[in-house]
Amino acid sequence: MSKIDTVLFDFDGTIMDTNNVILMSWQHTFRTLENREEDESKLTATFGEPLEYTLERFFPDVPVEESIGVYRSYQRKNFSDLIALFPGMKELVIECKARGYKTGLVTSRLKRTAMEGLEKFDLTKHFDVIVTPEDTDKHKPDPEPVNIALEKLGSQPGNAVMLGDTLFDIQCSHNAGIGAVLVSWSLALAGKTREDLGEDAPDHIIEKPEELFEII
């Protein structure tokens, strides 16, 4: 691996434990639209996917604006109360900055709630750039979000890595030509090894946040 000077982070499931609020938002949506709850494994398999795509697939007969409204209304009311930082991740972001790495957040979460989460835990100032879906025409696994972050940071793909928790993060990283680091606390890929993931395997899997520095 070339000399790394840039570290990009995913938000949901990587820095921020939003698993509970996402699952509860989905179940609220299924109860509201279909009077039932969905199998949790089917929900976690969608983690990292743009919300509109998933809603259109789950509820093809419901206008997507309606299903989005149901899902987001629950998140707006409950998001801040149901999120938490994964242990050691705030410290990792701060230490990356302290060591001189350029830092970026690349997320499929809309800016409003992404910023709400960052500000709740006083993380906003530790990122040099933040890329949300409002900044892109294409989304993970397309490389555009990462490309935008690299351009804003003045970084080259060969000198960057991204930490993520889903196949979309891994594919986005590889499509952009940067290193892909999977966090072991991923719910979407829980227990998966590099061998399990085949051609979508990350370059590295870390068990603890501080292990990143052994890689870069």
Average pLDDT (6-32) is 97
Mean pLDDT, all residues of the chain: 96
CA distance 83 to 78: 9
The DSSP output letter for 160 is E
Q: How confident is the model at residue 67 (pLDDT cuts 50, 70, 90)?
A: very high
Opening angle at CA 40, ends 37 and 45, nearest 5: 125
Q: Give the percent of the chain with pLDDT over 90.
A: 95
* The model's pTM: 0.94
CA distance 148 to 151: 5
Q: What is the DSSP string of 56-123?
A: HHH-TTS-HHHHHHHHHHHHHHHHHHH-EEPTTHHHHHHHHHHTT-EEEEE-SS-HHHHHHHHHHTT-
**Domain layout of the chain by residue ranges:** 6-17+84-215, 19-82
- Residue 1's pLDDT is 55
Q: Do domains 6-17+84-215 and 19-82 have the same CATH topology?
A: no
Instruction: Give residue-wise pLDDT tens across range 140-175.
Output: 999 999 999 999 999 999 999 999 999 999 999 999
Among 10, 12, 165, 169, the one annotated catalytic: 10
Pick the CATH number of 6-17+84-215 from 2.60.120.10, 3.40.640.10, 1.20.1270.30, 3.40.50.1000: 3.40.50.1000
Fold assignment, 19-82 = DNA polymerase; domain 1 (1.10.150)
Catalytic residue flag (residue 10): yes
CA distance 74 to 21: 9
Residue with tokens 């997320």: 107
